[in-house]
Amino acid sequence: MSKCVVLHSGGLDSTVLLTKLIREGYDCYPLGIEYGQRHAKELLAAKHVCEALAVWEKQQTLFLRQLADLIQSALTGRGDIPHGHYEAEMQKATVFPNRNMILLAIAAGYAETIGAELVAYAAHSNDRAIYPDCRPEFVKSVGETITLGTDGKVKLLEPFVDYRKADIVHEGFHLGAPMQLTWSCYEGQERPCLQCGTCLERTEAFVRDGTRDPALTSEEWEKALEYLRRYTP
Amino acid sequence: MSKCVVLHSGGLDSTVLLTKLIREGYDCYPLGIEYGQRHAKELLAAKHVCEALAVWEKQQTLFLRQLADLIQSALTGRGDIPHGHYEAEMQKATVFPNRNMILLAIAAGYAETIGAELVAYAAHSNDRAIYPDCRPEFVKSVGETITLGTDGKVKLLEPFVDYRKADIVHEGFHLGAPMQLTWSCYEGQERPCLQCGTCLERTEAFVRDGTRDPALTSEEWEKALEYLRRYTP
């Protein structure tokens, strides 16, 4: 049974990924990292997800909030979270510079420490337009760097790299992933704002899958559909 | 004048690198990172070096001690620091898994934030035997990953990748680098132990250059030479 560190934020994509790997028989070690994101609330969702998937005891959260002192983004409180479509130019304000390389480098160091030969993360093709660290050429390169940096001991697993988010939702239902417990909204308020890039992207994925978001009430889902119509270019 | 984030630990190599880049006209932003190293004292040396080089105001230290909760090494207090030659097998205890990828990923995110187009670090060829993250193939790969992860905005500079440590010492004297202020010893006690891998490597570099270590007293230097003779295979 291969040991695998899974970057697990508590969002939808990484939750479906974690569920998939557990179902496939990997010995999973979920890792959440606080990097100063204003939606640090996703890390609480991660705890609930890991409880539901019975991997609670192997879950770790690393608190590196100080990163946000040096590396800035709307995600960590510089300026407002823009409302609007997730592929719109203004969404670039939500890029946390080089975030995935930082998170993956740490996950790989942790994997080597505990003797895990794999690190998994949930990069997918929807995010390519805005986030350079979700593009396939980045994913390939970061995987090679991890293998070289750990002297061949750790490899990268990214099974969703060619999925659209709707494909992840589809697989999530198929696997019975606890998507109702996940948190995506960048605002990190009491309930999802339904208007930021990640909320709209999430709504769109369920719509494309022909299903609805199990984390929302009926009223919220109606509102989400209305925002999606309003903001879709 | 190109803006450049320089990974600067307060050790000899990164201090010569910083001096070199300042002399060459780069606008340097030294970055020290506490990752739980027991020789965190090097970060104090870094402050003194930056004062001597008049880049004190642009220096930043990032405190990420929590990394050592998950990523373990003799460097961060798991087991003792081994005494003996820096290329000996037992020195592998001092590998902090994937350290340079973690530090460089963070430095690149910081560079993008402040609009610096370069990140520099002082990998050199002496350390290749033990540390995978100092080998040229790693250096090449991590540079590509940084460029892809920052959408082409940041590039890696590693002018010492083919130097031996003695070449760095030589350049250090030539440039008038404040090597007397640097700290290398992994033990992090009051004075250098002169017997750990990094102390012996440092002594050997000065010997090969035909000079002596300006950070040591005459008595310490004599002792350092004695240990070098004892431990060299």
**pLDDT digits 0-9 by tens, A2-60:** 999 999 999 999 999 999 999 999 999 999 999 988 888 889 999 999 999 999 999 99
* Mutate: best of A65, A66, A70, partner B, most B CBs <10 A: A70
Q: Chain B: give the shortest CA distance to residue A71, in Å.
A: 5
Residue A152, pLDDT above cutoff 90: yes
Residue A215 has pLDDT above 80, yes or no: yes
Contacts of B105 in chain A (CB under 8 A): 98, 101-102, 104-105
The answer to whether the Cβ–Cβ distance between B106 and A71 falls below 8 Å is: yes
Distance, in Å, from the CA atom of A121 to the CA atom of A5, rounded to the nearest integer, reads: 9
Out of A101, A109, A150, the one facing B145 most closely (by C-beta) is A101
Using CB atoms, pick whichever of B72, B96, B141 lies closest to residue A148: B141
- What is the rounded distance in angstroms from the CA atom of residue A119 to the CA atom of residue A153? 11
**Angstroms from B34 CA to nearest CA on chain A:** 11
CATH architecture, range A3-231: 3-Layer(aba) Sandwich (3.40)
Of A96, A110, A145, the CB nearest to B141: A145
Contacts of A85 (CB under 8 A, 6+ apart): A91, A197, A200, A231, A232, A233
Return d(Cα B60, Cα A130) in angstroms, integer.
29
Q: What pLDDT is attached to residue A224? A: 97
Q: Cα–chain-centroid distance for residue A116? A: 21
Q: Please state, in angstroms and as integers, the Cα–Cα distance from residue A61 to each residue in A89, A103, B116, B227, following that order.
A: 32, 12, 31, 43
Contact B154, B29 (CB under 8 A): no
Nearest CA in chain A to B68: A110
Q: Does B29 touch chain A (CB under 8 A)?
A: no
Burial A115-141 (b: 16+ CB within 10 A, else e): ebbbbbbbbbbbbbbbbbbbbeebbbb
The predicted pLDDT at position A61 comes to 94
Question: Would the pLDDT of A1 be above 80?
Answer: yes
Q: What is the pLDDT of residue A128?
A: 85
Structure token digits, residue A195: 């208007």
Reading the block at residue B103, the tokens are 């530090």
ipTM of predicted complex: 0.92
At A32 the pLDDT is: 96
Residue A229 pLDDT > 90: yes
pLDDT at B77 over 80: no
Give the CA distances from residue B33 to residues A67, A79, B28, B60, B143, in Å, rounded to whole numbers and listed in that order.
10, 26, 16, 8, 19
Distance separating alpha carbons of residues B3 and A176, to the nearest angstrom? 50
- Dihedral (C-alpha) A4, A9, A10, A16: value to the nearest 10 degrees? -50
- What SS3 state is found at B141? helix
Contact status, residue A91 vs residue A197, Cβ threshold 8 Å: yes
From the list B80, B76, B79, B81, the residue with the least C-alpha distance to B66 is B76
- Name the helix (H) or strand (E) containing B224: helix B218-231
Query: Which pLDDT does position A166 carry in this prediction?
Result: 97
Which residues touch B35 (CB under 8 Å, ≥6 apart)? B64, B65, B67, B68, B71, B76, B96, B99, B102, B103
Domain boundaries, chain B: 3-231
pLDDT score at A210: 97
